[in-house]
Amino acid sequence: MTVRKNKDYGKEPYVVDIEKRTLANENFRTTVWTGAHLQLTLMTIPVGGDIGLEVHPENDQFLRLEQGKGLVEMGPKKSDLSFREEVEDDWAVLVPAGTWHNITNIGDEPMKVYALYGPADHEPGTVHPTQHDAETDPAED
């Protein structure tokens, strides 16, 4: 497992060209800004990969695709992902707290996404180079 730390600009004013920063990210997850009630992360999902089926009991989540094409699946239970929608560049996905969700890259290029969590979901400055790193990080349990 590889977990690195990135400079987290949280709790300080921060302005960013979010499209440029998202497209430049090569890690599965890079945590960029962690405030008291909100967190910004960048994600790169390889062709055929996904963000990983998950639920955030206390977190609403906003995701925006800057590059690629994905299949969004959401539902009230891990076994009931009855909401399905294809998304692509410039689309946003809003995930209510307590909703199981996943986005699978169904395109032919890496899917580049940024996500806002409210409240924060990851340790400030966390970098997971791969999905395996994220899934085996004890801080993510």
Kindly report, residue by residue over 8-66, the tens digit of the pLDDT. 888 899 999 999 999 999 999 999 999 999 999 999 999 999 999 999 999 999 999 99
What phi and psi, each to the nearest 5 degrees, are found at residue 65?
-85, 125
Model pTM score: 0.89
Tens of pLDDT, residues 118-139: 887 888 888 888 888 888 888 8
Measured distance CA(31)–CA(125) in Å, rounded: 5
| Secondary structure of residue 131 in the 3-state scheme | helix
Measured distance CA(124)–CA(39) in Å, rounded: 8
Question: All domains of the chain, ordered by start, with CATH?
Answer: 34-140 (2.60.120.10)
Q: What's the pLDDT at 1?
A: 57
Task: For 90-128, give the DSSP string.
Answer: T-EEEE-TT-EEEEEE-SSS-EEEEEEEES--S-TTEEE
Residue 4's pLDDT band (boundaries 50, 70, 90)?
Answer: low
Measured distance CA(125)–CA(77) in Å, rounded: 30
